[in-house]
Structure 1
Amino acid sequence: MIIAVCSLSGAPGVTSLATALAACWPSTPLTVPVMVEADASGGDVAAWHSIDPDQNPDAGLVSLAAASRAPLQTTMTPQDRTQGDAGETPSAFTPLLRHATELPGGLRVVVAPADPLEAGRAVDVIAQTPTLLSSGRVTIVDVGRAVPGSAGAALLRHADVAVVLTDLNDVGQAQRLRACAPVLASLRQDGVRIGIAVTGSCPHNDAEVSQVAAQIPVWSRVPWDESGAALVRGQHRPAARMRDRLAAWWARRGDPESLEWMPLIKAAKALSELCDDFSGVGVGTSVARPARRPQEVEAA
């Protein structure tokens, strides 16, 4: 199952949401979520977590792009293929995980280089041969900004689920959503489920947002959350405001390890559960899907 997270313009926090979504995914020993940082403008996760790409050249987006040039069966051992046919392949042995770096806390991320030229070339290769993105059980793809005609926009058509993050307090992003909504809605013809995540304080209700967005549903409200954003950047700090301290205390009464007092984490958990539910109603299952069209999302 592939879940793509993108924006249409601006920087509303796509990487933060994608990271939180992967971290909150209801995983099992056989379903290890992997986040792929496929942002053609360059990656942030390596800088956030002080990852030196030179220490492990066999991991990362560039390595994944190189592997995607070869047929999938050549990147898997015979034992992997045999187990995969039986539906018992442990996620720890899927080809995608071989290119991932494990962050503190256990999240696996295929990090993108900071150089936009290098990242852009890698995303372009993966968009043309996206087989490895589906080699994991659950793949969260951080597309970044879906620039018209870009390889990142093309990745949306290879997803099972697409989440468009937008800040409707920004007039430019609101106009962009209205203009691009019909093209985004056309992704449904390729079997892609698509929904909107609204960030910030939006005065419009879900029905109003959906009405101007070609009836694309609103799946999530993601409040601005400094504590949650710091957490996904590897800078977790205790709650500072009285309201946050009270929320943390209340949440930990039921679960001492709970982080759901952070609005970002709470919203990401609810969104991950919604997307996971889709896998039981046709997405990511053996149900036949329309053939993917090769053209890119020209107005996304």
Structure 2
Amino acid sequence: MTVPVLVEADASGGDISAWRGLDTGQTGLVSLAAASRMSVPVQTPITADAWAETGVVNASAADATLRHAVEVPGGLRVVTAPADPLEAGRAVAMLAHNPSLLRAGHVTVLDVGRAVPGSAGAALLRHADVVIALTDPGEVGNAARLRACAPVLASLREEGIRVGLAVAASCPHPDHEVSQIASGLPVWGRIPHDPTGAALVRGEHHPPTRVRDRVAAWRSQRRDPDSLEWMPLIKAAKALAELCDDFSWIGLDSKPQRAVEVSAA
């Protein structure tokens, strides 16, 4: 079983702990960055039996990153970043210089935030297999940032890294015009405006529990209230994940590194 891990590697600071009300203790981006500098693990390794109790099997290669992650409702494992930009920035820079733990034999998804050229987040992108830049060229500021970052993203492609765009649905321009702005980068998907799906990501969406509430929810939506597939945002994210998974079978010019990175232009 492959255990995907989301690493919040935004040098401007993280949001997930605040969204979810998490007390991560000694785990998180800072501990992962510190471990990346060590020749031996900084914590006691977690046994395969311990991971099996949580539904994770064959975790001998995966626990290097999982050891610094927390599990949020829904089963996602997340390495959270501190809210302090100074502390987060130092940790991201350290990971950019020592990325080996991010390639521990499983899928690592990095959210690097705004990948400014020359930044630590941009440096992390060079260790990826696939890069997805999230942007909204229909908004003037985003369009300008996309143009500024386009040469950097194009250079990643020259290095054998697959790079594509995820465009906010509010963008009025067709895919081929967006691609022209971004030096020919392909548009892989459109991210819909979905308040319910966004609330789920932030930990603010809770399915109804009482029977009468569940029946009312089904009648209003004609959907299983426990299902996530009907949420447009979740469907779009799943489609992008499947596309990245397909790329892993196509083959890359460089050696597979088992890291999928997500950034916002």
Shorter chain as denominator, the TM-score bin is: 0.7 to 0.9
Say if 2:136 and 2:143, in contact at 8 Å, map to a contact too.
yes
Equivalent-residue separation in structure 1 for 2:90 and 2:2 (angstroms): 29
Q: Distance in 1 between matches of 2:60 and 2:158?
A: 30
Q: Paired residue for 1:48?
A: 19
1:72-110 alpha-carbon deviations (Å, 9 max, x no partner): 789897x99xxxxxxx94368520111100111111000
Work out whether residues 11 and 89 of structure 2, in 8 Å CA contact, stay in contact via their aligned partners in 1.
Answer: yes
- 2:255 and 2:100 map into 1 onto residues whose CA distance is 16
Q: CA deviation at 1:289?
A: 3.4
**Alignment-mate amino acid for residue 149 of structure 2:** C
Aligned-pair RMSD on alpha carbons? 2.8
Provide, for residues 150-184 of structure 1, a one-character-per-residue CA deviation record: whole Å limited to 9, x for no partner: 11110111111101001122112112212321221
Counterpart among 225, 246, 249 of residue 221 in structure 2: 249
Structure 1: unaligned runs, 5 residues or longer: 1-29, 81-87, 240-244, 292-299
Percentage identity across aligned positions?
A: 63
Q: Given that residues 71 and 77 in structure 2 are in contact (C-alpha distance below 8 angstroms), is that contact kept between their aligned partners in structure 1?
A: yes
Deviations 1:88-147 (A, max 9, x none): 943685201111001111110000011111111100100001111111411110100112
Which residue among 85, 88, 96 is the counterpart of 1:116?
85
Change (3 A) 1:271 1:263: same
Listed one character per residue, the Cα deviations across residues 30-50 of structure 1 (whole Å, up to 9, x for unaligned) are 211100000011110001111
Q: What does residue 194 of structure 2 align with?
A: 225
4+ residue runs over 3 A deviation: 71-77, 245-252, 287-291
Q: Give the structure, 1 or 2, with the largest relative contact order (CA under 8 Å, sep 6 or more).
A: 1
2:119 matched residue in structure 1:
150
Distance between the aligned counterparts of 1:248 and 1:145, measured in 2?
38
For residues 182-217 of structure 1, what are the alpha-carbon distances to aligned partners after superposition, in whole Å with 9 as ceiling and x for unaligned? 221110122211000011322111112112211100
Look up the SS of the partner of 1:261 in the other structure. coil
Structure-2 separation of matches of 1:215 and 1:191: 15
Give the letter aligned to residue 87 of structure 2: E
Structure 1 pair 185/192, CA: closer, same or farther in 2 (3 Å)?
same
Q: Does 1:189 align with 2:158?
A: yes
Task: Tell me if 1:34 matches 2:34.
Answer: no
Question: Structure 2: 5+ residue runs without aligned partners?
Answer: 49-56, 209-216, 258-264
- By how many angstroms is 1:263 displaced? 1.5
TM-score by length of 2: 0.82
- Please give the alpha-carbon distance, in whole angstroms, between the structure 1 residues aligned to 2:186 and 2:62: 36
Structure 1 pair 248–150 and aligned structure 2 pair: CA distance change class (3 A): farther
Amino acid corresponding to residue 33 of structure 1 in structure 2: P
TM-score relative to the length of structure 1? 0.73
